[in-house]
Structure 1
């Protein structure tokens, strides 16, 4: 499975058409999708060029760098949006969806619809969103060249991937397209398209020419966010909106969790002790696997400051949201709920927006740092405070140290370091 792209890449990818290739008709082009004048015809596009749209603890008077890092440390120790170019309705009708292609392929092999639905559920929502977007662009490109997207020759697949490369897309982004095509395309020479020797060799070439780069070379100072939280009124005086945002940020920092992990926190699988909340992640997350036991997320009490204590924040948050959760079988058990009506369990994008709101209010440059950067900021702060690598890997659910080192462990920016030094001199 492809990794998630490191950044949103936008723009349009144009490729000058040569002579149309002969159409390869597959069972996917059903009679309801055929033109009345023949099999798959070219649409009347306004341009001769088909379009592949690429899918979107610094010292202060409040608290020292080491104290802020220790807060994170103590707790840790315990798919491309693309602009679409309009195409003719005729071409649009000929483009087959990825899930439909896979479903019809399974049906042709004698697999029942009930069994197929289970097989199609093997791709999670986030993966499907990425793959379907990439597949739609591949399918349209093929139809405009009069090529069957499910049975396209290997040369066409490589040509399509090369167009993406020419337009400057990064290795990981192009890899999403490879995986999307491979998931629905028939095997080529007995191998899945993504594993074909020439495709693999092509990607090794991309890797050598344009090596994948980490999204961030530095990280932001967690102390900025913690100092902002300290500046807020006490929990019981906060509006429900601010209480929600604050709680989400504290949970994200002390668990180094992804947004997908935060929405998986469920009250049905929560245990409360005198000093901690313990959640068992039953819902699938990015790192969930049948071979892994369900991960436990422990949120422990932070005695030095009640305003920064995630347990205190959760207690107030649960009390404030209790009336909106309802009762019986319709009770909303997801930890995080929307704070506007109609009240419902939120999705990852909403959690991400909450985190970015707090980051922006804290003075973090959200035009550069996204919500996912809280994961790197928290684990980097824990490492600076002396938490062992083994503890950090366990908290962040990483299987190898190289993942932490290559993509997440970063120092604060030079300007923040200089500010810290000057501030210490002035004192």
Structure 2
């Protein structure tokens, strides 16, 4: 089920510098300036700041005005607990958002902090993420055969996985963008004789990359023509798969989100972005199994695999 939005956690005990700077501004202006950081970033900063506040309390330090020595000691303890350099960098950003300026500049730009983070990266270099590669032609070939066809009688799980994969490949959209599509009549429109389909994100959707124009989020997919030379190509038509998927899920869905859960207690409810990414990888894995290939494997980076290869 898609996770519900959580309220932002405000930093405890010690107000940030923003409280002084923004204190006299109108509430609407404060909301706009606060929105410069994504809600997830604000939650993360609040969590890191509260942990630093607790550490300072146990060491009798003022978290807002403590010395660089105290901040470096806190970061060193985190490094010894095997926190990654990227995590330590988030701690620095969170502390800098509330800490008083040092020598006229932000804590995160202090020479010792910068050199500490550089040393942490050298001592703990990032390991490249190993993402399994896959053969698109092999997968497309498998999608034209059982268990993916005939699609009209395939299991709902198979139909869901194949539809998400085809729509992702045809639209070249992130999982987050696919997650924003809806079956509402204002967001989903099939052309005459299912010649095409227009997909629009739900109202209020903001793409992950803010520089992407909102109008470009509208997707117009054309149906694949039936070729006499190779009629099996029609099995790869995303419009056909989407039409069958919408019709099959109409009676069970309890959400107007385009893609919904296909089984279990959440059947018919909105599927999360993480689960949708798993569907894409499941479709690829099933395609390899259908072709008798065993070299494709699933790892911990399923979401990254779906986003990077699509």
Q: Report the TM-score when normalising by structure 2.
A: 0.69
- Separation in 2, partners of 1:280, 1:103: 41
How far apart, in 2, do the equivalents of 1:144 and 1:205 lie? 27
What secondary structure is seen at the aligned counterpart in 2 of 1:277?
Answer: strand
Q: Classify the secondary structure of the residue corresponding to 2:302.
A: coil
Q: Indicate how the Cα distance of structure 1 residues 120 and 338 shifts in structure 2: closer, same or farther if over 3 A, else same.
A: farther
Question: Match of 1:336?
Answer: 259
Residue 373 (structure 1) shift? 0.8
Corresponding position: 1:250 with 2:175? no
Q: RMSD over aligned Cα, in angstroms?
A: 3.7
- Secondary structure at 1:372's aligned position in 2? helix
1:126-165 aligned at under 5 Å gives the runs 126-165=40-79
TM superposition shift of 1:125: 4.2
After superposition, residues 289-368 of structure 1 pair within 5 angstroms as 289=211, 292-296=213-217, 297-303=219-225, 305-324=233-252, 332-339=255-262, 340-341=265-266, 343-361=268-286, 362=288, 364-368=296-300
Q: Which runs of 5+ in 2 are unaligned?
A: 1-8, 226-231, 289-293
Post-superposition offset of 1:342: 6.7
| Equivalent of 1:220 in 112, 134, 149 | 134
Q: Alpha-carbon deviation of 1:370? A: 1.6
CA distance in 1, matches of 2:67, 2:215: 43
- Three-state SS of the structure 1 residue aligned to 2:303 is coil
TM-score by length of 1: 0.53
Distance 1:140 1:228 in 2: 55
Q: Deviations over 1:248-298 (max 9, x none)?
A: 233334444333222122343445445443434561122124x84543344
Shift of 1:311: 1.7
Instruction: Say yes or no: does 1:279 pair with 2:225.
Output: no
2-side partners of 1:148 and 1:242: how far apart? 57
Output the CA distance in 2 between the equivalents of 1:224 and 1:163.
49
Q: Show the 5 A alignment for 1:17-96.
A: none
CA distance in 1, matches of 2:125, 2:90: 16
Flag the 1:100–1:189 CA change in 2: closer, same or farther, 3 A: same
**C-alpha distance in 1 between matches for 2:15 and 2:215:** 31
Could you tell me how far apart the structure 2 residues matched to 1:324 and 1:121 are? 37
Contact 1:263–1:347 (Cα < 8 Å) also in 2: yes
Secondary structure in 1 matching 2:161: helix
Mapped to 2, the partners of 1:196 and 1:271 lie a distance apart of 55
